[in-house]
């Protein structure tokens, strides 16, 4: 009975969790986008960071970047998410200037740090609930 | 190029100015994810940052083969990470035989941890790519190999071991780049070694281990050296480490790597 109630509640709220298939699809999407940077000599890190994204609840991951390298952070989300964006912040939490590449439901930012150290990368959406997303990064 | 394709191309590749973003709060920063894979740089990323400006003689940083018959799982995991860093070094030096030797030792240590099966095919392809001088592909294979080890450890609920693999790779990578910077110092290249976030993250992760693991003599020693490294790499972002800073970090990283690879402690 409890399970049935939970299913009904989830259905009513329209907030089904992102499925494995959706997560895999966003990963394939973002790899396709990042493939463009590979043609320019960027290497894609083998790992990825994925999960669910809800509008107004951005996701934040810490990365360690090196002065002298150039980076592309690329993200994709499924159709439930609109207005996907990526922002990069210094270890003090200040935003950095990035070059943005918008490509429909996918987005990417390019950043060349002058200082090595920890940075924060934020992925957010302006609309949508519990949409699957995937972030990867490339460097050269 | 037909006009409609040109417009489409411009629409999708043009750089767009980003709207001003508010700064992150301390709470937001504290809640940031430290991902097992993306939050930790691979040694190849570190070497790439250095190689661009310094053109080091990578071969000169090779080390003698390390023992592969450790009994402590933590020590095996740290040496596994260190060997993967050695693999990247061998790729930078374009030394195929060294890559094959390291791949063999990586498999031995992975077997000792019960995750060797995951590397069987990977090991063969590493040897093939080394024989064919496919250096860029080898870097990808090495990263994939480490990620497969991590995934297997995750699957076996051995998440503490992941920290040790990452730590071993980072320590060996730091030892190599500080040696290279020391040999040919410039303020610009020295800026690469500023990594306070990584050192702090390892300190926090080791502090959160079960008491029994923390009591391991090697883990105790590693923690003490990490505290010293953390102090040394916490250089303000607007200044470059001096040659003395680099020498100090190198000496600490060398001690750390030496302790990790020592058969008896």
pLDDT tens digits for B191-235?
888 888 889 999 999 999 999 999 999 999 999 999 999 999 888
Comparing CA positions, the residue from A60, A80, A66 lying closest to residue A135 is: A60
Minimal Cα distance from A38: which residue of B?
Answer: B136
Read off φ and ψ for residue B26, nearest 5 degrees. Answer: -60, -35
Are B148 and B119 within 8 A, CB to CB?
yes
Query: Tens of pLDDT along A121-137?
Result: 999 999 888 899 999 99
**Interface contact B196, partner A, CB < 8 A:** yes
**Interface contact B41, partner A, CB < 8 A:** yes
Is it the case that residue A21 has pLDDT exceeding 90? no
Q: What is the least distance, in Å, from the CA of A61 to any CA of chain B?
A: 5
Among A61, A95, A116, beta carbon nearest to B195: A116
Is it the case that residue B8 has pLDDT exceeding 70? no
A contact test, residue of B40, B45, B188 with most A CBs within 10 A: B45
Query: Tens of pLDDT along A99-112?
Result: 999 877 899 999 99
For the CA atoms of A115, A120, A126, A129, the dihedral, rounded to the nearest 10 degrees, stands at 160
Residue B164 CA to residue A7 CA, distance in Å, equals: 41
**Contacts A–B by Cβ distance under 8 A:** 145
Comparing CA positions, the residue from A131, A133, A106, A108 lying closest to residue A55 is: A131
Residue B124, CB half-sphere, CA atoms under 13 Å: how many? 4
Whole-model pTM: value is 0.85
- Band (pLDDT 50/70/90 cuts) for residue B159 is confident
Q: Which residues contact B171 (CB under 8 A, 6 or more apart)?
A: B78, B81, B82, B253, B256, B257, B260
| Mean pLDDT, chain A, whole residue set | 85
- Band (pLDDT 50/70/90 cuts) for residue B19 is low
**Interface contact A54, partner B, CB < 8 A:** no
- Band (pLDDT 50/70/90 cuts) for residue B37 is confident
* Complex confidence, ipTM: 0.81
Comparing CA positions, the residue from B75, B262, B46 lying closest to residue B175 is: B46
Is it the case that residue A93 has pLDDT exceeding 50? yes
Are B164 and B81 within 8 A, CB to CB?
yes
User: What's the pLDDT score for residue B122?
Assistant: 76
Mean pLDDT on B147-170? 90
User: What's the pLDDT score for residue B265?
Assistant: 57
Q: Which of A22-26, B49-53, B79-83 has the highest mean pLDDT?
A: B79-83
| A66 with B49: Cβ contact below 8 A | yes
Comparing CA positions, the residue from A51, A24, A34, A50 lying closest to residue A108 is: A34
User: What's the pLDDT score for residue A3?
Assistant: 43
| A49 with B25: Cβ contact below 8 A | no
Q: Strand pairing partners for A57?
A: A54
Residue B58, CB half-sphere, CA atoms under 13 Å: how many? 20
Residue A65, CB half-sphere, CA atoms under 13 Å: how many? 28
Mean pLDDT on A39-45? 90
* B86-103 per-residue burial string, b: 16 or more CB within 10 A, e: under 16: bbbbbbbbebbebbbbbb
Residue for token pair 């390892």: B202
Q: What is the least distance, in Å, from the CA of A94 to any CA of chain B?
A: 5
What count of other Cβ atoms lies within 10 Å of the Cβ of residue B201? 22
User: What's the pLDDT score for residue A33?
Assistant: 92
Residue A28 in tokens: 């394939």
Residue B8 CA to residue A103 CA, distance in Å, equals: 10
Among A65, A89, A109, beta carbon nearest to B24: A89
Is it the case that residue B9 has pLDDT exceeding 80? no
Chain B residues 224-253 within an 8 A CB cutoff of chain A: 237-238
**Interface contact A140, partner B, CB < 8 A:** yes
Is it the case that residue A119 has pLDDT exceeding 50? yes
Q: What is the least distance, in Å, from the CA of A34 to any CA of chain B?
A: 13
Minimal Cα distance from A63: which residue of B?
Answer: B39
User: What's the pLDDT score for residue A12?
Assistant: 38
């Amino acid at each position: 009975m409890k399970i049935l109630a939970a299913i009904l509640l989830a259905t009513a709220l329209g907030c089904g969790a992102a499925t494995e298939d959706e997560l895999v699809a966003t990963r394939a999407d973002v790899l396709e986008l990042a493939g463009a940077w590979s043609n320019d000599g960027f290497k894609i890190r083998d790992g990825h960071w994925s999960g669910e994204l809800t509008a107004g609840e951005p996701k934040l991951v810490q990365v360690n970047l090196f002065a002298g390298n150039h980076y592309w952070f690329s993200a994709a989300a499924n159709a439930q998410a609109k207005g996907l964006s990526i922002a990069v912040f210094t270890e003090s939490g200040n935003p950095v200037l990035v070059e943005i590449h918008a490509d429909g439901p996918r987005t990417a930012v390019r950043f060349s740090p002058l200082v090595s150290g920890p940075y924060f990368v934020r992925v957010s959406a302006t609309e949508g609930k519990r949409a699957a997303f995937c972030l990867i990064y490339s460097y050269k | 190029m037909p006009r409609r394709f040109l417009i489409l191309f411009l629409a999708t590749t043009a750089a767009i100015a980003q709207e001003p973003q508010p700064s992150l709060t301390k709470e937001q920063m504290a809640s940031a994810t430290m991902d097992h894979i993306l939050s930790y740089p691979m040694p190849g990323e570190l070497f790439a940052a250095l190689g661009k400006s310094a053109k080091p003689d990578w071969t000169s940083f090779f080390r003698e083969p390390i023992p592969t018959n450790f009994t402590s799982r933590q020590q095996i995991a740290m040496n596994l990470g260190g060997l993967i860093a050695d693999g990247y070094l061998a790729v930078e030096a374009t030394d195929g035989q060294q890559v094959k030797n390291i791949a063999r030792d990586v498999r031995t240590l992975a077997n000792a941890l019960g995750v060797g099966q995951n590397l069987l095919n990977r090991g063969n392809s590493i040897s093939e790519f080394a024989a064919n001088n496919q250096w860029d592909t080898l870097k990808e294979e090495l990263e994939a190999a480490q990620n497969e080890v991590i995934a297997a450890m995750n699957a076996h609920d051995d998440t503490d071991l992941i920290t040790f693999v990452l730590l071993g790779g980072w320590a060996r990578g730091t030892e190599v780049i500080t040696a290279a910077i020391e040999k040919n110092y410039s303020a610009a290249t020295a800026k690469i070694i500023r990594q306070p976030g990584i050192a702090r993250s390892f300190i926090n992760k080791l502090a959160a281990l079960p008491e029994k693991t923390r009591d391991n003599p090697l883990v105790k020693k590693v923690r003490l050296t990490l505290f010293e490294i953390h102090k040394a790499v916490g250089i303000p972002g607007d200044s470059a480490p001096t040659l003395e800073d680099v020498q100090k970090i190198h000496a600490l990283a060398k001690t750390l790597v030496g302790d990790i690879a020592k058969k008896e402690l």
